[in-house]
Structure 1
Amino acid sequence: MNFLKTKGIVIKKNDFGEADRYITIFSEEYGKLELFIKGIRKSKKRNQSSADLLTLSEFTFYKKNNSLILSSIDSIEYFYDIKNDLEKLEIASYILSIVNEIVLYGEQ
């Protein structure tokens, strides 16, 4: 199993089932990716805020069948100054939604 590592920002998240989550990231090396995080919403070990919107993190993942599975995640920057200001958060969310719509998966 080959592990890949990249820095990226979370631009979208979708909860799946009781404990899992899909996140869409825009990364330096691989462009737009969708990663599956198993058990993040119930696990005490994993840092949920690292997989939150508008968080810059370092992702380690691997490919299994046609899915990308997250192995580990380490936060780099949370952008609290943006998240604590409603107007800035609104603008940032709008920009993230545009990036998500315009950029194709795998496009850098």
Structure 2
Amino acid sequence: MRLRTLLAAGVLALGATAALAGASSSQLEAYQPDPSLRTAPKSDLEARVRRACTVVQARLQNSAETSVERPCGCYAKATLRALDASEIEAYRATGYFNDSARAKALGAIDSCKLQRPV
């Protein structure tokens, strides 16, 4: 359960950059996206990405979640603003960012001065 929680948080927040790179295909197949993603308004998607970012970045930086709330808000807004309709639909269907969305998410991580996952 802990692996699934960490995988889901990393996937949602950071576009699956490191989490998916290190995950086996069976781990990815076992991941089930939240069904509410399919109909959630874009503002809810942004809130989910912001929350997951806060959890992951606090762990990466070994700091309090409150210390990364502002840059994670920047990240969530910048990422979702950059995604096109097909990338948003892919995120809704899978619960993680596809390759093109992942590249945009990495740009947002950098511009918002967050740590890239290893």
Q: Which has the higher strand share?
A: 1
Q: Please report the TM-score for the alignment, with normalisation by the length of structure 2.
A: 0.33
Greater relative contact order structure (CA < 8 Å, 6+ sep) = 2
Q: Which has the higher helix share?
A: 2
Which has more radius of gyration?
A: 1
Q: Please report the TM-score for the alignment, with normalisation by the length of structure 1.
A: 0.35
